[in-house]
Structure 1
Amino acid sequence: MVPRIPTAAVCRSLRRSAIASRCCSGGQHTPLLASRSSLTRASSTTTSSQHAPSPPPPPPPPSSATKQPSDGNSSTFTTVSPDEVSHFNALASSWWDPHGPSRILHLMNPLRHDFIRSIRASVGDTYAAPTGSPVSPSQPQQQGLRYLDIGCGGGIFAESAARLPTTHSVTAIDPTPQVLAIAQAHAKRDPLLNPALSPGRLTYLNTSIEHLPVPRGGADGSDQGYDIVSVFEVLEHVTSPAEFLDRCTPFVRPGGWLVMSTIARTWMSWFTTNLMAEDVLRIVPRGTHDWNKYINEHELRDHFADVNGAATATEAGAAGTGATAGGAIAGAGAGAAGSAVWEAPRCMGVIYVPGVGWREVAGSEKVGNYFFAIRKAPA
């Protein structure tokens, strides 16, 4: 039975939400990912234990100083939130229940694959055909796509990607031990994915991106990274989104894709994901979302534009000093994204319709859930 919606309470919350939206930054939200200085915003003051159906507060102002990148192999720095790990550990046992708390993720999964197919088709990418099949006259025979799924959770996307005939391998990582144990147990049920029967097809690692060894790029073309690095419904759960992205980008091979999904920070997304989904309809567990951590699509675009600008400036400086651009960028800290040049991003807005499922809706990336992909320029 669908809970009755308390109309008067909702209307009051909406009025308060609209006032809060107008009051911050002269009617516009302060961007959290608009520049390198604002990328390293502080952790939200709200936590899952304090979650309540109240109007969204204005986002915190951008930092006044640019935080220096830390060592990509650091054993201390992490973008993982202990509160988020605890929250998702509690949901581990129900992860593969298609009618349970993760139902929304199960319903979204087909759109993830549709989006990846569409972005690859947009550049005529025939890079990875099924194992043993010819690819194109200009490309050597390959053995399929290599995926890195960051924040894989219980393995909904990782498993489905590993079963595709165009896939060579999937490496899936997550810092949440109980959830990853569920993922590993579920994969063992399928002979195609069971590591004892199909070694290397699907590999789960209980780690964060900060502690995963970065591909070094062998002289023979080996270890160049992954064809698809996926970050689905993760960006809004990390403590430092800019530094998190800086850790993800080195894993994308030249010509490969960084593919994400997240939520725009608007009054509409607060109404749909916090108030309605969590507090009223209860189709998402309470405390799953923190509105302050949502990231607008234009902030991601600005982030990668800044990265490209930094790479261009470094290359110009290297030309005058005789140093290599890659070396200069790497010297700023392992994981710094400036060494990559990124092509124009692709974006797709999606809306969840109860009883129908997820649907692509043009323009909805400005107000709610969306997919975002960007391709590393081929070498």
Structure 2
Amino acid sequence: MAATIPNHAFRSCLHISRRSLIRAAPFIRQQRAPLPLQAIRFTSATSAHPNASKSSVDPSEVSHFNALASSWWDPHGPSRLLHLMNPLRHEFISRCRLRTPGLDTEKLRYLDIGCGGGIFAESAARLPNTKSVTAIDPTPEVLKVAELHKKRDPALQAPGKLTYLNASIESLPKPESPSDGYDVVSVFEVLEHVNEPAPFLEQVMQQVKPGGWLVMSTIARTWTSWMVTNVMAEDVLGIVPKGTHDWSKYVNEAELRDWLTKKGWGKNGAMKTMGVMYVPGLGWKEVTGSEGWGNYFIGVRKDE
């Protein structure tokens, strides 16, 4: 069920929006207008790109996140929105798991791709039903921060409990057998930083065991998301470091759903989405329908 926003909070958001739009006007004039929505970036044909076997890592993205490494675990710093979103990540995974008999009772193996400083990876490793978490990221400085933060919790020091790897998905060894795959493969706030999402996801999907779930969160490519993430969040309010978002890399929920369906995943209703929105003063809230124009989660099960 979508969260209900109190009337007083909604009025407050409207006031913020009006003030912000006035402040945004000079920035809006300076911005290049986004590409037309017809310029679809995520199609089945993308997977046939001649560079599909190469790394999906964008060096400019690595440099950007390396610069943010030292502040990753500051709950009031540049990664604040990631800290606030983390509870919804777990909520969404729980909903997906309920659709898989037995997966809600067994010890789970997680693969967290693009783990950053380990916000989700650490929290997943602490869950009582977690067997192990492998977390990978191509950004070395951020992973150093993740390793240092991990050492603060003795519960995470058990062999194999939480393993960080400075690696891309292409360099990660493939499972030797289907049963060696992961129960949950997470790709949170990563797809919008990848140049070619189809080849990237084809690599990711090989890591999911039969009956396991691929869960993702990303941003739809709409005029609304451009205004919210590029203009408001970065230029006006400054709650996200400038240069974090490239609107042309966003992927619409319909595009992603269609591509996954054509790959034969998510049969018999085993695909789930959840639209979410950041409400100033209240944090991230589920908002039904927002997957069509803003941030959203999508989960898909690999058939047995």
Give the TM-score normalised by the residue count of structure 2.
0.88
Deviation at 1:95, TM superposition (A): 0.2
Runs of 4+ in structure 1 off by over 3 angstroms are: 11-14, 68-71
Q: CA deviation at 1:10?
A: 2.8
Q: Which has the larger radius of gyration?
A: 1
Letter in 2 for 1:212: L
* C-alpha displacement of 1:67: 2.1
* Per-residue deviation, 1:69: 7.3
Identify the residue that residue 295 of structure 2 maps to in structure 1: 369
SS of the equivalent of 1:200 reads coil
CA distance in 1: counterparts of 2:296 and 2:24, whole angstroms: 28
Counterpart mapping for 1:53-202 below 5 A: 66-68=48-50, 70-71=52-53, 77-121=54-98, 123-129=99-105, 142=106, 144-194=107-157, 198-202=158-162
SS in 2 for 1:286: coil
Task: Give CA deviations for 1:322-358 in whole Å, capped at 9, x if unaligned.
Answer: xxxxxxxxxxxxxxxxxxx443421000000111100
Letter in 1 for 2:124: A
Q: Which amino acid aligns with 1:208?
A: S
Query: Displacement of 1:36 after TM fit?
Result: 1.5
Relative contact order higher in (CA < 8 Å, ≥ 6 apart): 2
Aligned-CA RMSD value: 2.3
In structure 2, give the amino acid aligned to 1:170: V
Matched, 1:217 2:144: no
Structure 2: gaps (5+ residues): 1-15
Matches of 1:276 and 1:163, distance apart in 2: 35
User: What CA deviation, in whole Å up to 9, does each residue of 1:240-298 have, x standing for no partner?
Assistant: 11110011001000000000000000000011111000000000000000000000000
Partner residue of 1:207?
A: 167
Q: Deviations over 1:293-327 (max 9, x none)?
A: 0000001011112212xxxxxxxxxxxxxxxxxxx
Gap change, CA 1:268 and 1:6, over 3 Å in 2: closer
TM-superposed CA distance for 1:68, in Å, is 4.8
Q: SS state of the match for residue 225, structure 2?
A: helix
Where do 1:3-42 residues align within 5 Å?
5=20, 7=22, 9-10=24-25, 13=28, 24=36, 28-33=37-42, 35-37=43-45, 39=46
Distance change in 2, residues 1:6/1:364 (3 Å): closer
Separation in 2, partners of 1:216, 1:266: 40
Corresponding residue for 1:287? Answer: 243
1: CA distance between counterparts of 2:136 and 2:118? 9
> How many residues are treated as equivalent by the alignment?
285
Match of 1:328 in 2: none
Amino acid in structure 1 at the alignment position of 2:231 = L
- Secondary structure at 2:263 match in 1: helix
1:128, CA displacement in angstroms?
A: 4.8
Q: Of Structure 1 and Structure 2, which has the larger fraction of its residues in strand?
A: 2
- Does the C-alpha gap of structure 1 residues 299 and 281 become closer, same or farther in structure 2, counting only changes over 3 Å? same
